[in-house]
Structure 1
């Protein structure tokens, strides 16, 4: 663990510097962000952290290529798993629970399967798996993002992403003209990472056998006000795990209430 510009960092296995912050005391929980999410733009997660910090040590980090974290190519999911392992060892005393949001939930599960001796439990909020989308389509979507990343078209990648999740054209145009756009465009290239995570997770239209190594308790959550495919996706993921529990939160969408989800995390990790 080191400090750069008064902010804590760790150095991952491949030499990438990963920025993070830690708050609270007690059993550690590492938060794994979803697509486009990082500390400089995320106003929701800090509310949840404040609600949990009296009982847990909460470690919130910028995934590689975002915010205070560097990046080392070529990208591989294994490199992000190494980042999480380094954080668990350096900032959490060698053991931690994981909370993952959206595509970060799938990354958290991949990390749990690879680091089973370090991970005590996992909470997955809305892993964005669409069981009706075939593997070939997932890989094609990744290839399109990877091609844009090769040309450095971060803006094009962000537009493609927000359009794909249903943002209307007029809203996309307004987003590009807003003060927030620069901070999101800055992490546009990392969208290829998330598309790669999802393509690998659903390769061959089946859950990976490696997930069977995640034998710790795993809670898979969706919200009943979210995208229609999220429930089916959460069911699909939970059915593939050896020790999973499913839960649907009333009134919650993909943009969750941090007080509601914070209470769920406190119950799960406080057992």
Structure 2
């Protein structure tokens, strides 16, 4: 584990593996080194000839945090990791991490190619500050379980999947204070941000994901000027690493 220092002084913990062109992977809401990490996918890409970088987003795992939160600060965190990766890198983002990757590319970070899986884009340019405030209030009251359920229900996670979180829920409760960050990213990403992406992009989704998310993914692919859309066989809001890794490798090598 190493650390990069973001522009505001936040320490961003990151790991790397392999050798070859750099790929930085950005986790979804709830994802960090102790839960549902992208490390196994990164290791498969490392085996395919890439140097991969995974990192704990601010406020998670071994990374620190600095108030107040802003999407721009998270973009600066990614910039710090890309700097460590050699000054430019291909990027993969999953879910809200995909939207963060889109925002970073739109802001002009040195991203060579952009791959995103199911960015939660609903076509709205409005920000639900009420939900953000509700999440913050619950966490401030030391209630970390309810924000986990509230956030996942708000983004469309089926109740049966939420009910199955029991064994891993304590790991999600540790980073419940970061759920407002992801909701802010989702709620403030506009069509203008997406249209501003000027690098080749691969936009992916899973066959098992519902129509509402499929529609949003297709819209993202339509809005990015140099985007290709692929729908792959997988589970709800997820793809097996053995399906995803070859697609990413092929795209980054092309």
In structure 2, C-alpha distance between the alignment counterparts of 1:15 and 1:171, rounded to whole Å: 35
Structure 2 equivalent of residue 201 of structure 1: 189
Structure 2 equivalent of residue 258 of structure 1: 241
TM-score, structure 1 as length reference: 0.85
Deviation at 1:64, TM superposition (A): 0.5
Kindly indicate whether residue 138 of structure 2 is the aligned counterpart of residue 110 of structure 1.
no
In structure 2, C-alpha distance between the alignment counterparts of 1:233 and 1:77, rounded to whole Å: 21
Counting only pairs closer than 5 Å after superposition, residues 221-236 of structure 1 correspond to structure 2 as 221-236=204-219
Q: Superposition RMSD on alpha carbons, in Å?
A: 2.1
Gaps of 5+ in 2: none
Contact kept, 8 Å, 1:145 with 1:195, in 2: the verdict is no
Distance 1:141 1:263, change over 3 A: same
Structure 1 equivalent of residue 5 of structure 2: 11
Structure 1 equivalent of residue 71 of structure 2: 77
Query: Secondary structure of 1:112's partner?
Result: helix
Kindly indicate whether residue 113 of structure 2 is the aligned counterpart of residue 121 of structure 1.
yes
In structure 2, C-alpha distance between the alignment counterparts of 1:252 and 1:185, rounded to whole Å: 24
Distance 1:110 1:136, change over 3 A: closer
Choose which of 180, 187, 190 in structure 2 pairs with 1:192.
180
Deviation at 1:163, TM superposition (A): 3.4
Distance 1:263 1:72, change over 3 A: same
Gaps of 5+ in 1: 1-6
In structure 2, C-alpha distance between the alignment counterparts of 1:214 and 1:230, rounded to whole Å: 20
